[in-house]
Amino acid sequence: DDEKNRASSYEWTYRLEDGVCTDSLALVTAERFGLPAEIIRRADELEPALSTRHDSTKGQLSYEDINGDSPITVLKSKHAPAHRKPPTNHLQRGGLEDSFQEAARLATEITGQNGISVKPGWDPHPSLSNRSCLYVLQLAEEPPRYYIGESDDMPQRLRQHRKKSKPWRLSRAVIFPLGDKTEARYWESLLIQEFAQAGFRLESLSDGRSRRNVRN
């Protein structure tokens, strides 16, 4: 009853007004016009994982995680120092999943940023199509190789990578939304150097040969 009352309590005025839309009322609208209740329930469960929130104090987007098995998982940084050095001579142990979790943990600790883990076959959230990002890509082979890069359009970049050979098609990624391209390039260079030193097999070292110093 509460849901029905909620859906019937809004009126669509079809007026265009200046400003930012903070709530599209998509689920209410879908319910009002007869979309099946199961679809609406599932969308309501997934919405927090796909929503973005602008933090005016940091100028960055924050991402929410959800309960259950999701293709998109948020890796929370435990306020690690920006220049924390990872352990050297790291040996990758276990299978692809264990290695990926170790790589994601290391990148999260080095950058001090929250990472978004995207499983094989899934795309990043569309909001990352116009956002400077750093990413670590795991190629699906034993032992795994990693590609570290940056992009202003993560959905498109990941699709480009996955058009290559099978290890690329089955790749998974951890993505770090950042403030701008300069910052993304800085972390790209630093991560390549630190991952190589830690013993990870990297697809390319070219962008890590000289650190781009943009940090204060």
Taking the C-alpha atoms of residue 149 and residue 157, their distance in angstroms, rounded to an integer, is: 10
CA angle 117/86/201 to nearest 5° reads 65
Per-residue pLDDT, 207: 63
Per-residue pLDDT, 52: 43
Q: Which two tokens stand for residue 150?
A: 């940056």
Statement: the pTM of the whole predicted model exceeds 0.85: no
Taking the C-alpha atoms of residue 90 and residue 94, their distance in angstroms, rounded to an integer, is: 13
Taking the C-alpha atoms of residue 5 and residue 7, their distance in angstroms, rounded to an integer, is: 5
Phi, psi angles (nearest 5°) of residue 32 = -60, -35
- Predicted confidence pLDDT, tens digits, the chain (216 residues): 455 555 556 676 767 777 666 666 788 888 888 888 888 887 776 665 555 443 333 333 333 333 334 444 555 544 444 444 444 444 445 588 899 999 999 999 999 988 999 999 898 888 888 899 999 999 999 889 999 999 999 999 999 999 999 999 999 999 999 989 999 999 999 999 999 999 999 998 776 555 554 554
Per-residue pLDDT, 210: 52
Per-residue pLDDT, 173: 94
Distance from chain centroid for Cα 23: 23
Per-residue pLDDT, 5: 55
Per-residue pLDDT, 196: 93
**Nearest Cα to 213, choosing from 176, 182, 191?**
182
Query: Which strands make up the sheet holding 133-139, listed edge to edge?
Result: 72-75, 115-118, 172-177, 133-139, 145-151
